Structures are given as C-alpha cells and as structure tokens.
Structure 1
Amino acid sequence: MSKRTLFFSLIGAVALGGVTAGGFALASTPTKPTLENGSATYTAPSAGSAGSFTYTTDVSDDSGIRNLKVLAWPASSKLDPKEAELRSAESATCRRTSDETSRCTYTLKATQREAAELDKGTWYVSALATAQDGGTTFVPRTASFDVTR
C-alpha cells in the first residue's frame, strides 16, 4: 500500500469518525420545548355551578411532548416557584395536534366555599414542559389572571 493511499484512508476514517461523533452529539442533546398561545382564565362559582381555573397552551418540541406541569399562585403571596418545585406539580392534559405539538389544558374546579378562601387579585401561572427526549423548559410566569369576588 502506498503512502498516498494510506494517507487518504486515514483522512477518510478521521472524517467519518468526526461526522459520526457529531451525529451522536446532536442526537444526544435534547432541545427545549416551546410554549405558545398560552391563556389563563378564572370563572367564579355561581349559585348552581362550580367555578374554575383553566390554563391552555400549545407546547412544541421536535421529539414530542411528554407532559406539562402547572402551578397557579397569587401574586400577593410573593411565591417564587423554581423548576424543581414544579416537577411535583399537577399535570395538564395534553393532546397531540401534530408530530411536534400538543395542546395542553389544565383545569381546576372550585366550589363557592373554596373560592371564598382564594386570595383576591392577580394570580400567576408557572409551567414546566418536558419533551419526549428529556428536554425541559421552565417558565416562572407564563400567564396571569384575576380572581375577583
């Protein structure tokens, strides 16, 4: 085997190894999910029906969505939720709208008695989205809504 053939064989092996390693690096690095079109609403209970809080958002990631954790909290509490705290929060119900996107909705019902105990004023919604590939996105204040009497 000539030196020239050996040299080009080594160059080819190094180039192939670099492409393969780069492919593994790209495949093993999870992307972060995105949250779009989020909205939060609160409906006070009436004489014959429960009230509710609903948060809806579109969550996208190229690997798909595993779950969305949601926490609603009053601004007056000065709470400052962290990502780790949301891992144990309640999950939204997510329905696929495409290979990459799910529409996630979290609903919580409130009786008149429960609603009377809620802090009045502005509330915030924190969210933690987890993709199928393990990537996460934490949004400490993704939406707000008002609780009135």
Structure 2
Amino acid sequence: MSRRIAVSVATGVVVLAGAGAFALAYAGDQPPALTHSTARYTAPAPAGAGDGSLSFTTDVTASSGVKSVKVLAWPANSSLAKKELTAKEMTAAEAATCKPSGKDTVHCTYTTTVAPTEAKTSPHGAWHIAVLAEARNGTTTLDTKAAGFTVR
C-alpha cells in the first residue's frame, strides 16, 4: 500500500472515531423520552358507594438512567390552559412509581383514588396529565399533555 493511501486511511479512521465519540457524548445529553402514555379515569360509584380512581402509565427512556417522574392531572378549562406549566412548578407534583423494563427504560405508574366528594367538586370535561421526567444526568422533559381523560 502506498504511503498516501495509508495516511488517507489513518486520517479517515481518526475522523470516524472522533465523530463516533461526539455522537456518543451527544447521545448522553439527550433528555428523557416518554412513550406509551395512557390515562384511565373511573368515576366513583353512585350515591357514595365507593371511590373512583385515576391511573396513568408511561415508559420513560434515558441513556443516563431515570432519576424521577412527576405527574399532575389538570382540567383543560383551568387557568393552567392559559398559562403553561413549568418544570419548576412540576417539581412539587406527586411522584410516579417506576420499575425497570429495558436497558435504559422504566415503566412508570401513578394511581390515586377519587372520593365521591372530590368528583362532585372537580371540574367536569377534559383533563390532561402533565409529566416531568428527570434523567440522572440532570436533563428533563416536560410534557404538559402526555395523556388525557374526561370527567363526567
């Protein structure tokens, strides 16, 4: 092999290795990704015969690992519809329970009971689930409308 070809090949290997290292470093800084988000609302039984429930599930993927997932249900016709939620506001929201479900993925569940008195005083109509996911590397993802449900 001529010296010119050898230098070209060596240069190409160095460039590709550098690009690969950059891509790997860049991938590590990616914010968490939410997938398969669903919400299910069950109204309380009539005449106060039992509580209802709200369940939310989502899968969160982060190459550095998932540190926390916070969940907040909010009515579509509230003041939050006019003023976007912020990550800072979401830090006070309730935490979901997450379990490993893949290499960099966790399956998270949030469940709460809905008492008959809560259902009567809650706004009826469309609701949204907001989610704040934080990765171990400090990056965050805020999805203010990760899932929805209807209160009747």
Deviation track 1:34-73 (CA, whole Å, cap 9, x = no partner) reads 0001001110111432111111101111122111111110
What is the aligned counterpart of 2:114 among 106, 110, 116? 110
Please tell me the residue identity of whatever aligns with 1:61: A
Please tell me the residue identity of whatever aligns with 1:50: D
Q: What is the alpha-carbon root mean square deviation over aligned residues?
A: 2.5
* Contact map agreement 2:39 2:56 (CA 8 A) in 1: yes
> What is the Cα deviation at residue 141 of structure 1?
1.1
Please tell me the residue identity of whatever aligns with 2:142: F
Deviation track 1:102-134 (CA, whole Å, cap 9, x = no partner) reads 011111111111111111000011111011222
What is the aligned partner in structure 1 of residue 131 from structure 2?
A: 127
* Contact map agreement 1:64 1:99 (CA 8 A) in 2: no
Amino-acid identity (%):
38
Q: Using the alignment, how far apart are the partners of 1:76 and 1:28 within structure 2? A: 38
| Superposition pairs of residues 68-147 of structure 1, within 5 angstroms | 68-79=69-80, 80-147=84-151
> What is the Cα deviation at residue 28 of structure 1?
9.9
Please tell me the residue identity of whatever aligns with 1:77: S
* Contact map agreement 2:28 2:63 (CA 8 A) in 1: no
> What is the Cα deviation at residue 95 of structure 1?
0.7
Q: Using the alignment, how far apart are the partners of 2:125 and 2:26 within structure 1? A: 45
Deviation track 1:5-48 (CA, whole Å, cap 9, x = no partner) reads xxxxxxxxxx8xxx6xx66x927962211000100111011143
Q: How many residues align?
A: 132
* Contact map agreement 1:43 1:52 (CA 8 A) in 2: yes
- Work out whether 1:45 is the aligned partner of 2:21: no
Q: Using the alignment, how far apart are the partners of 2:118 and 2:129 within structure 1? A: 19
Gaps of 5+ in 1: 1-14
Please tell me the residue identity of whatever aligns with 2:143: V
Q: Which has the larger radius of gyration?
A: 1
| Superposition pairs of residues 8-47 of structure 1, within 5 angstroms | 26=25, 30-46=29-45, 47=48
> What is the Cα deviation at residue 86 of structure 1?
0.6
Q: Following TM superposition, where does structure 1 have runs of at least 4 consecutive aligned residues deviating by more than 4 angstroms?
A: none
